Chain A
């Protein structure tokens, strides 16, 4: 798979480390979260067949974390963005 890095252009997915669903960016608020919230956050996954937003860490490159929107049935990548940018806008 080729991941179109927003800063570096097309890169081989083998340069990246896969970190799982982009939902992991929505960490529960430690002041208000219940143990059940933490359980759901840490262990449960939507695991969809189809469009999946996921985190790829550019370990063999600029060490940025990307949010890649990819189809888990065809492996086709439809969007790539910087995770930091997304967080800043949120």
Chain B
């Protein structure tokens, strides 16, 4: 069924009796050309691009719970492409371009809102670093704009410009950045993939891989064995656990990241703001809640909840740049599990096992990458070679010294 304004009006006049489920609920077939493990944003996007761009139709997405129930349902919904390094920026810019055409491509309202992302500048050194970053973005075809203090004051008059420790000196803006309705991304990709014949199999947990003579033949699941020509794993937050079933150790630690939302307010915050002197980012959802977050808690965790010291730190950061946030009451807070890689950048690659492919290690930047991650992983699965924007995201970069370390922190995952 194609969604349109006309369809909404027709259904409104006929009692909304014509809507059908957005995707089927099939039982698994004995064998597929490609099986994707993980029905989150990245897995469903992979299925969509496999079917729509690479002509693969015998595809299944296997999800142990319900689709969109992991990190695509738990993030702070920000999209941007303001990276510095050559291994990253073309990929994230590709992703932002896919976001711009996403709703037409999927025929689904994902509420893509290019309201702008602004990184605040608090010192002369930081101004130099951000202008350099802006130049790197422009060189890679993205947009970036340096704003002096007067321009930031005009756009965000309520910020704490004269803070004694971290006065605001300016900002680096990316106007094409913004926010997206995160759940709708999973649902939109699922519906689009399903309409092209992809089987989305929920409540089906992968319990192991069937590997013979170094070749992956399929997956053992709670619904029995499913044969596959190629298997792609996209299970953010569970990457190490899943790949251990194939005997692999990954360059990944799993950490918990907390996020917060306040009660609904009238529009007060036009775009996305990030604090340059601490780790804090905030935007206002279309429902009116201020959605914000900060650092990961910093220790290995598979619990989808964090501890109070980081809550305090995040709220202090919010008060430091935007004192009016103290007047809003916190409505909800939650945690998600981030697969933190050793250099802060992700992996989209084949493994040493033939027919087994891996997509993960997105740290806490996976949401904005969803379209390009799906596209590049689909390319890898269909063609057995990396997509040109994701060519640097390889397992062997830790062997060869080609780390993509935006923050220059080394192999200390909790610092990325």
Contact B302 A72 (CB under 8 A): yes
Cα of A40 to Cα of B411 in the assembled complex, Å: 12
Q: Is A33 an interface residue (CB 8 A)?
A: no
Size class of the B contact interface (CB-based, 8 Å): 20 to 34
Contact B301 A44 (CB under 8 A): no
Known contacts: A12-B309, A44-B250, A45-B250. The answer to whether A54 contacts B300 by CB under 8 A is yes
Contacts of B283 in A (CB 8 A): none
Contacts of B244 in A (CB 8 A): 46
Partner of B307, one of A1, A21, A45, A54: A1
Contacts of A21 in B (CB 8 A): 253, 300
Q: Scoring A residues 11 to 43 as 1 if CB is less than 8 Å from chain B, else 0, what string do you get?
A: 011100010110000000000000110011011
Q: Is B7 an interface residue (CB 8 A)?
A: no
Contact B253 A45 (CB under 8 A): yes
CB distance from A42 to the nearest CB of B (A): 5
Nearest residue (CB) in A for B341 is A43
Partner of B303, one of A12, A44, A75: A75
Most central of A36, A43, A73 by chain B CB within 10 Å? A43
Contact A18 B254 (CB under 8 A): no
Contact A44 B302 (CB under 8 A): no
Contacts of A52 in B (CB 8 A): 300
Mostly, the A contact residues are: mixed
Nearest residue (CB) in A for B248 is A44
Known contacts: A20-B413, A39-B398. The answer to whether A45 contacts B303 by CB under 8 A is no
Closest 8 interchain pairs by CB? A47-B240, A14-B309, A43-B398, A44-B249, A43-B251, A49-B302, A18-B299, A43-B342
Chain B residues close to A by CB (< 8 Å) = 240-241, 244, 249-254, 298-303, 307, 309, 342, 398-399, 411-414
Chain A to chain B contacts (Cβ below 8 Å), 18 pairs: A1-B307, A20-B300, A40-B249, A43-B251, A43-B398, A43-B411, A44-B251, A45-B240, A45-B251, A45-B252, A47-B240, A47-B252, A47-B254, A47-B300, A52-B300, A54-B299, A72-B301, A72-B302
